[in-house]
Homo-oligomer: A and B are copies of this chain.
Amino acid sequence: MRFTSERRLDDGVLEREFTLGEIPGILWTPASASASAPVPLILLGHPPLGLRRMYPRLVVRARHSAAEGFATATIELPGSGDRPRLPAAEQARADLRRALEAGEPVSDETVDALILPLVEKSVPEWQAALDALLSLPGIGGPVGYSGGVISIGIRLAVVEPRIVAAGLFAGSLVPRTMFEEARQVTIPLHVLLQWDDEGNDRQAALDLFDAFGSKEKSLHAHMGGHTGVPQSAGDSATRFFTRHLK
């Protein structure tokens, strides 16, 4: 992990860009974090639209988390931003667009081709980032995962024991096989659902919530579309992490 830039935001949060091999990322730490007072870490997931485009929304979440004493970090997803495209996913994305424009159902094959390579490739990258981040002074554990592509969150929750709680956003297409993986998840979950999410199948989201194996899980549905998550929902998710990471 190599830091490439560093700046203080006006609320004292330290924002550092880094690269992990070829993968760009950003780390935000609260002013209070130090080697003698390490803080818990939340990995900030995001949709595969590129870190640069997602930055305004990510920095809001990062500052909010820092105010509650959490470090946050994120990395570019494979195939997004300046990273090389994933050809299979590009084809699937075109198929998805075609289906949505034609008002047709999205086939399981398209969903699998869009999501599964992203999960396969990104999960080990998040784990490598975790190795590097947890070795930094000022960053302790435990670790939470928040938001982003829900299938990545599911896989991470299953395979990465350092992640002890996850806040998931039921707002993306989910391959059928991920429902089976969801049954293997046992960590506490806080799941957000936008009730009228234009790009999301509500019943599938409810079925997925039902499938999670976690004894402690809660679903929080709010009105509005994909990007209409209210401020109070963000506050509630932060309190979930405070309960489980502190």
A residues in contact (CB < 8 Å) with B: 195, 206, 209-210, 215-223, 230, 232-233, 235-236, 239-240, 243
Contacts and interface: CB of A to CB of B under 8 A. Distances in A.
Contacts of A240: 232
Contacts of A233: 218
Given A206-B206, A215-B223, A216-B223, A239 B232 contact: yes
Given A232-B239, A239-B232, A243-B232, A209 B221 contact: yes
Contact of A218 (B209, B210, B221): B221
B232 A223 contact: no
A133 B92 CA distance: 62
Contact of A221 (B216, B219, B232): B219
A222 B218 CA distance: 4
Given A232-B239, A239-B232, A217 B223 contact: yes
Given A218-B223, A219-B220, 16 more contacts: A195-B209, A195-B210, A195-B219, A206-B206, A209-B221, A215-B223, A216-B223, A217-B223, A218-B221, A218-B233, A219-B219, A220-B221, A221-B221, A232-B240, A235-B239, A236-B236
